[in-house]
A and B are shown apart, each in its own frame.
Chain A
Amino acid sequence: MKSPVFKAAAALLVGAALLAPAAEAQQPKHGGTLRFVMKYEPPTLSALNNTSTPTTSAKVWDGLVTYDADLKPLPMLATSWSLSPDGLQYTFSLREGVTFHDGKPFTSADVAFSILRLKAGHPRGRGTFANVTEVKTPDAKTAVIVLSKPSPYLMVALGPSESPIVPKHVFESFDVATPPGPPQHIGTGPFVLKEWVRGSHAVLDRNPNYWDKPKPYLDRVIVRFMPDAAARAAAFEAGDLDLGGLAPVPLSDMERYKNHPRLAVDTRSFAYTGAQNQIFFNLDTPILKEKKVREAIAHALDLQAIVDTVFYGYAKVSPSPISVALSTWYDPAVQPRKFDVNIANKLLDEAGHPRAANGMRFPLRLLFNPFIDARLAEFVRQSLRRVGIDATTQNLEFGAYVKGVYTDRAFDLTIESLTNVFDPTVGVQRGYWSKNFRVGLPFSNSAHYENPEVDRLLEAAAVEVDPAKRKELFSQFQRIVHADVPSVDLVSPLEVIIANKKIRNYARGAEGLGDNFSDVHFVD
């Protein structure tokens, strides 16, 4: 086999492989239409007062900064920034020569307006920007965010998909809470909204005046809204779609796309989403007040089996209240409780819940967020039955689910998808902070978990400017919560993307498909 000819051929092949990316990197090709699919149609394409639309918003509106995969800020509308030593003033130098889609120049007044509007109307912005007292604009190209308390998470909350910078002259007279319609879709972003046919699609055309020349490379992005998984699968197969995220086709079908001639499966986790699935215990249920019962339930669940069977491998075991997707803050010392039915049985016996004649110890009501695959609920139900807990699942649609858990509190266990977003203070604290036990408020502290030490750690971490000290606070938080078991953290689902093999750079940084697509191009 190892003839000189073979070696030469191998060398040539390796050479070609090395050359190919280099040639590609030279100058991306201009032109082409990207057909992007979303599962649900958001009420507005803007993220200004709605958090269900990060992917569309980022194409039309830029943020002050964007992020690499590790959440390191990169310049966008701001070219540089600095933080005062006391952590109370962020100063941003803004990019010169940027105009909005309507031709008006972008200035610091727009930044000041946007930050305050996000504070007033963005569902998460009310929390993220709560400490913002004012935004100073010493000149047209400088904006200073002034805080009453340090907010270490602020710098990761300024991406285009989370905090769009909107034109003051358009939104000044526009209601804070009304979803922006097409006339308000004016930003500085790489794409301009051309049409939006509700229930069908939106067409975004290339912004020829985009500041980051020669980008964007694409002529057009078509966003299609297709609620049916089978329809999306068919459209991918028929060549009618190029890109879709959040597992656009059922995971059970994914195998077919792995060896597809035209399509590729791309699995990653993005720090900006911080995907996490967990079980919350209702600590108001008498039987669940007993820690041994909660520990027994944790021991009864095989997390790796959940990854392998329910998620077909498209998830990572994520045993801590802070998702493994947030690698900066996740504490690897927190490991899953050992999967062992015997330990679980023993703990339940010790807690004084012997099996009755039918083999069952006690019943529990198990709910699950309908955006989670029902098979996860089925898995948990069967695991609990194995140790004698007679769990009954109820399949509720979203409105009924939210009311059932957060208003009526008519549950014992609920499988939630409390994503960690981009920072634990923003995404994790809400589930464990005793002051956020608020009946009627979706995605609050559903367990009714109260631990003064946890409260203290969370509150300290929220204002700690030193990253190392903050990490230590979050580590302590994770260890205490893991020991207290108000929740069993399960897995972090991967973002499963299906993409045409000929497109490049659709998810460059931490924001995943919330990328602005300015760098997306087709290759031959």
Chain B
Amino acid sequence: MLENRRLLRVLRRTVLQAVPTILGIIILNFLLLKLAPGDAADVMAGEFGAATEETMAMLRQRFGLDVPVLQQLLAYLSNLAQFSLGQSPRYGVPVSELIGQRLPSTLMLMVMALAIAFGLGIALGTAMALTAGRWPDRVLSLVSLFFYSVPGFWIGLMLIVLFSVKLNWLPSGGQETIGAGLTGLDYALDRLKHMILPATSLALFYVAIYGRLTRAAVLEVSSQDYVRTAAAKGLPPLAITLRHVIRNALLPVTTLAGIHLGGILGGAVVIETVYSWPGLGRLAFESVTRRDFNVLLGVLLLSSFLVIIANTLVDLLHAWLDPRVEVR
């Protein structure tokens, strides 16, 4: 009962803080985007390769670009107030539809990448800490340094070359076998197969970070009094590591994971391009080059929601991991 009320209070505060943040994000982004040279009509007319002045005027009018910037901003905000993200003039469909098509792909990729990064990173870090100073630690440190320093697109391409071109085990791109008409379990497996390489490429950088972080945290926690006490009362080493050490060592890792969520969304642009993955990152990137700002603002808005939600989740996770932490 008390717990629920506390949670409600947290949610209320989160929402109250989120509204000005998001409003700021929208206005700032809107004005920044307007600084970019050329507008959607320029780009479309350019792509047509041939256009007349009437075409340009018609495009601008249809895109709502023929009125002053402030008026455009107000129009956008009033749209938002009615829970509408507006239309993409380029595609001629509502922005929410475009985003709705891409969101599941990106979320799945993100969740899978985070899961891999978390699982592998913590395992790697624990292994390094337990063998600190000996050769397994050295080798794994080197590996994680490698993951940390090579760019994502290169790892992505190398994985494709190895696993799709040479070994032919996994597909080279896309998110499903197109037109195969699979259903049920076969479909799920097919999707999973397509996700392995992009999620891994996206995760490896974070594996390195979480690995290093876990290593340091585990080493620190291992020297704490309560760990010595646990050992003294005769607990087996595995139980000590899992129950007492890792659980406490996870705190800094989860904090960082919340922050990384935004970064993973950003990194997804590259991975989505390399793997031809129809996700939000590419949609956003293409909207920039095409000056399709309604779409871009929609994606940015949604991303800020995602980051805020993720951070709230991390707060709650903290409270669960460490009962001493008050949910703020």
Contacts of B54 in A (CB 8 A): 126
Are B160 and A234 within 8 A (Cβ)? yes
Interface assignment of A230: CB less than 8 Å from any CB of chain B = yes
Interface assignment of A291: CB less than 8 Å from any CB of chain B = no
Are B37 and A443 within 8 A (Cβ)? no
Are B42 and A407 within 8 A (Cβ)? yes
Are A51 and B289 within 8 A (Cβ)? no
CB proximity of B2 to chain A, nearest CB, Å: 47
Contacts of B168 in A (CB 8 A): 238-239
Q: Tell me which residues from 397 to 411 in chain A have a Cβ below 8 Å from any Cβ of chain B.
A: 397-404, 406-408
Interface assignment of B161: CB less than 8 Å from any CB of chain A = yes
Q: A201-B178, A398-B46 are in contact. Are A441 and B51 (CB under 8 A)?
A: yes
Are B90 and A179 within 8 A (Cβ)? yes
Q: Tell me which residues from 359 to 403 in chain A have a Cβ below 8 Å from any Cβ of chain B.
A: 397-403
Interface assignment of B225: CB less than 8 Å from any CB of chain A = no
Contacts of A220 in B (CB 8 A): 179
Assembled-state Cα–Cα distance A312/B275 (Å): 27
**A-B contacts at CB below 8 angstroms, number:** 175
Are A234 and B157 within 8 A (Cβ)? yes
Are A402 and B58 within 8 A (Cβ)? no
Contacts of B160 in A (CB 8 A): 231, 234, 238
Interface assignment of A438: CB less than 8 Å from any CB of chain B = yes
Q: Tell me which residues from 226 to 283 in chain A have a Cβ below 8 Å from any Cβ of chain B.
A: 226-228, 230-231, 234-235, 237-240
Q: Quick one: closest B residue to A219, CB to CB?
A: B179
CB proximity of B133 to chain A, nearest CB, Å: 40
Q: A234-B161, A234-B173, A402-B43 are in contact. Are A199 and B52 (CB under 8 A)?
A: no
Q: Tell me which residues from 161 to 194 in chain A have a Cβ below 8 Å from any Cβ of chain B.
A: 177-181, 194
Assembled-state Cα–Cα distance A231/B159 (Å): 11
CB proximity of A122 to chain B, nearest CB, Å: 9
Interface assignment of B298: CB less than 8 Å from any CB of chain A = no
Q: Tell me which residues from 440 to 496 in chain A have a Cβ below 8 Å from any Cβ of chain B.
A: 440-443
Assembled-state Cα–Cα distance A197/B177 (Å): 13
Q: A227-B282, A231-B275, A399-B37 are in contact. Are A177 and B165 (CB under 8 A)?
A: no
Assembled-state Cα–Cα distance A449/B38 (Å): 24
CB proximity of A299 to chain B, nearest CB, Å: 30
Interface assignment of B98: CB less than 8 Å from any CB of chain A = yes
Interface assignment of A430: CB less than 8 Å from any CB of chain B = yes
Q: Tell me which residues from 106 to 162 in chain A have a Cβ below 8 Å from any Cβ of chain B.
A: 123-124, 126-127
CB proximity of A81 to chain B, nearest CB, Å: 25
Contact of B49 among A51, A194, A230, A238 (CB under 8 A): A51
Interface assignment of A325: CB less than 8 Å from any CB of chain B = no
Contact of A230 among B93, B101, B157 (CB under 8 A): B157
Fill in one digit per residue for B254-282: 1 if any A CB lies within 8 Å of its CB, else 0.
Answer: 00000000000000000001111011001
Q: Tell me which residues from 218 to 272 in chain B have a Cβ below 8 Å from any Cβ of chain A.
A: none
| Most-contacted residue by chain B among A180, A197, A404, A408 (CB, 10 A) | A197
Are A443 and B273 within 8 A (Cβ)? no
Apart from A238-B168, A238-B172: 20 A-B pairs, beta carbons within 8 A: A123-B50, A177-B59, A179-B90, A181-B91, A197-B101, A198-B98, A198-B278, A200-B278, A224-B178, A226-B276, A231-B172, A397-B289, A399-B46, A400-B38, A402-B46, A406-B42, A421-B49, A441-B53, A441-B56, A443-B51
